[in-house]
Structure 1
Amino acid sequence: MKQPAPESAATPADRLEAWAHQVEESCVPMVYSMTSDGAFEGEMLAVENGGVHVSRIAAVDHVAKYRRRAMSSIEDDYLLVSIQSRNRSAIEQDGRVAVVYPGDMVLFDASRDFEWHFSGEHYTVRFPRQLLTGLAPLSRQHTAVRIPGEDGIRRIATEHVATVHRELLLEPTCGEARAGLAGVTAHLVAVALADFFNRMPTADTNLKTMHILRARRFIDEHLRNPELNPDRVAAALGLSSRYLYRLFSHEHESMSERIITGRLDGCAAWLRQPAYAHLSITEIAMTWGFNDPSHFSRAFRRHAGVSAREYRRLSGVGAGVHRLGCVAS
């Protein structure tokens, strides 16, 4: 959605007010002021991606102030990530100021006041708080910190955001594909943030949360390994199994539950996709780390409420490929 600053606004103040209304939909409500006497000019290109809003904003130098207590109309709770693409900007929050340059990222939190000194062009990604904090233990100490994005996973994340924005403008997706893409965006950004903050000194109070995050990431990245189990996770992280079990005892799911649920979700995703219609159900199950077809069949039925064969049929893919010696149930 392309939204230029309205030319019809009578005065500079009117143009800023009209701009504020446009930006609010994809970011948060803010109050704007100019840093010079010139006319305000700006353009926003916004896309919605399964609850994640991605905007590319280009404008003349200005200041945007967010005051949480004054914004009684804001109903949802968001975390925002800005990626600078031209010139430089500054974000002030929680007693810090982050000056960001092209390629840099910065996190800010819509539950507290912030001030944005804007110049040039940037991408802003607005995440529902629970979506991002479910993937990375983000807190007050992580806001308004410059996160260089020139290499590694951070560069992958920033380039992904730009690509998603460009492609959704050209060819919008819908339904499950859009929701899946939102999850990919959230995961990449969360991993990029965690990668950076893991390299910085971390408060002792966050060490347990960091261990849990690392364990979850290891599990998610190794679901297809049939030998994956909690003891292997602990060994890979250099922690004792007893300590890691104790950390997860306070979480909503154990390590074993995360492993089985992740594998079942992976199987379900493949069963829904025509690209894997040539694979039997057993082949899909084995690819996702199961080594006992009977155990998979029982677990999948409990997870989805129907058999894997019926799930595939209801998804419109068909009954799958049946080969001699393969169990498809």
Structure 2
Amino acid sequence: MVGITPAVPVAFSTLGLPERRRVELWESHNAKALIGLRCRTLTAAVLEATEINVQLERVHLARVRGNSHVVERDETLIRRRPADSVALFFSLVGEAFFYHDDGVRTVQPGEMLMCDADRPFMRGFSHGLEELVLKIPRAVFADVTGIDQVARPTVVSFTAGANSVARALAREIGAATRSEDPRPADEAALLQLVAAIAGADRDALSTAHRAAAQTYIDQHLANPALSAPQVAAAVGISPRHLSRVFAEAGTTVPKYVLSRRLEAARTLLEKPAPAMMTIADVAHYCGFTSAAHFSNAFRSHFGERATDVRRRALVSRALPPG
């Protein structure tokens, strides 16, 4: 698929490392894989932190988890290891403080912080954290948003009912950086969402709205009552505008929903875990109310029957390795 970058997530963890070297090795990893930071724990507790990194063609994604600690990026470190990037931090778990020359902000779970990574800052996580990170080279950020400099940090909510575009961006990053079954990231769509959040490129709104709608649909495929008005309300646009947004991509909301349900069903049929699920179970799980309709749609879409896919998967698992 055009725009999809098949990057492989790379995980790093301090768990199992020598306790006295954990901070040092964590700093070393971040300097190479994300953003150079100085780190220290808030108490005598040993640093327990993990990071999943995904490097796309131009941008970098990460999922970070850790216990209580503080990170700092001062002028000396910035001169030694310039990031030349804009960073977006999406807080999932744990309240964080952000100290910057513009003041002090408290970032709650469900809020995104956007800042210039080469302006000194300190971030603290007194109760631990889980967050998603998007690092964008400054030149790329300027190209897609028209903004040359992020002069002040910006906080945007991505909770349900808040900024639907920011919520879609968080979901896309989260799907690409999860430890199990990560979904390949569409870098172009990510950058369009960033442009829409920055408010600098109004032409990107249609793409951003479509990406937000697609993300919502993917999260609610199992709901057989999923409808275009429901999706439009979640994204914050009218059903008519939602139809126009999908028409620009050469499809409709019902066609997209059907396609995604069929793809989800095929994935289930090919996996070992759901082998005990009947074809009807798979259909129901993916939001189909009729097993007959599912079977007909599956054959029309893929050119083979769902039972053929299931049988082939079972035979493949039964064959001895090698």
- Which runs of no fewer than 5 residues in structure 2 stay unpaired? 1-9, 209-248, 250-322
**Where does residue 7 of structure 1 map in the other structure?**
16
SS at match of 2:67: strand
**Where does residue 154 of structure 1 map in the other structure?**
166
Q: Percent identity at matched positions? A: 16
Taking the TM superposition and a 5 Å limit, the aligned residue runs for 1:11-30 are 11=20, 14-30=21-37
Change beyond 3 A, Cα 1:171–1:64: closer
**Where does residue 176 of structure 2 map in the other structure?**
164
Question: Of the two, which has the highest radius of gyration?
Answer: 1
- Indicate whether 1:193 and 2:198 are aligned: yes
SS at match of 1:142: coil
Q: How much has 1:74 moved relative to structure 2? A: 2.5
Aligned residues: 195
Q: How much has 1:172 moved relative to structure 2? A: 7.7
C-alpha contact 1:68 1:110 (8 A) present in aligned 2: no
- Indicate whether 1:132 and 2:141 are aligned: yes
C-alpha contact 1:79 1:110 (8 A) present in aligned 2: yes
2:129 to 120, 126, 135: 120
Q: How much has 1:71 moved relative to structure 2? A: 3.8
Q: How much has 1:30 moved relative to structure 2? A: 0.9
Structure 2: how far apart are the matches of 1:59 and 1:10?
Answer: 15
- Indicate whether 1:35 and 2:42 are aligned: yes
Structure 2: how far apart are the matches of 1:139 and 1:159?
Answer: 26
Q: How much has 1:134 moved relative to structure 2? A: 2.0
C-alpha contact 1:84 1:103 (8 A) present in aligned 2: yes
Change beyond 3 A, Cα 1:187–1:98: farther
C-alpha contact 1:98 1:106 (8 A) present in aligned 2: no
C-alpha contact 1:35 1:63 (8 A) present in aligned 2: yes
Q: How much has 1:5 moved relative to structure 2? A: 0.6
Structure 2: how far apart are the matches of 1:96 and 1:15?
Answer: 30
Q: How much has 1:86 moved relative to structure 2? A: 0.7
- Indicate whether 1:103 and 2:115 are aligned: no
SS at match of 1:146: strand
SS at match of 1:83: strand
- Which runs of no fewer than 5 residues in structure 1 stay unpaired? 195-209, 222-265, 267-329
Q: How much has 1:69 moved relative to structure 2? A: 3.3
